Amino acid sequence: MGRIKVGFGFDVHQLKHQHPFILGGVDLEHTSGAFGHSDADVLLHAICDALLGAANLRDIGFHFSNKDERWKGISSLVLLQHVVKLLAEKNWQIGNIDAMVCLEAPKINPHIPAMKTNIALAAGITEDDISIKATTNEQLGFIGREEGVVAYAVCLIEKI
C-alpha cells in the first residue's frame, strides 16, 4: 500500500464593509468582505495550509509572504495551483479535501457547487474528492458579530 499523510489547515480574515468577498474562488454578494494581502480567500488558504502541512512543506506564509508584492491581490486559486505543483515535485497527489467555513452571513450553500468546481480545476482532482461545509458561530464572538470569517480544512495526500 502507498504512503498516505493527513494535513490540517486554518485561516481567519477580518471582514471589512464594502470590500469584495471571495470564497472558494467565488465572488459573493455581501455588504462586507474578507480583507488581506491576496484576495483573502480563507477557504483556499486553509486548504493550501492543510496540503502544505501534510507534505511537510511549511505553511502558506512561508511560500506566499504578505510582504511580497507578487501576491498582492492575487487569486488564491493561483496559490492553490502552485501548492499542487509543490506537492507533485515531491511525488504527492491529493486524495481528498474536507473543509468547513464558519461565518454568520452570507449563506454559502448555494455557492458550494461553484466553489467545488473551482477547487477541483485548480487542484487537478474531482469534485467528488472535495467536501465543503458551513456553519455559523451562533452570533458569538468576532464571527457572530460579522467582524471576521474562519475556515478549517483537512486533507489526505498519497505518495505517487
CA distance 51 to 94: 8
* Burial category of 88 from C-beta neighbours within 10 Å (exposed 0-12, middle 13-18, buried 19 and up): middle
Question: Phi and psi of 26, rounded to 5°?
Answer: -110, 135
Query: Binding site, residues?
Result: 11-13, 37-38, 45, 59-61, 64-68, 135-138, 142, 145
Instruction: Give, to the nearest 10 degrees, the angle between helix 76-89 and helix 112-123.
Output: 40
Q: Which residues are annotated as a binding site for a divalent metal cation?
A: 11, 13, 45
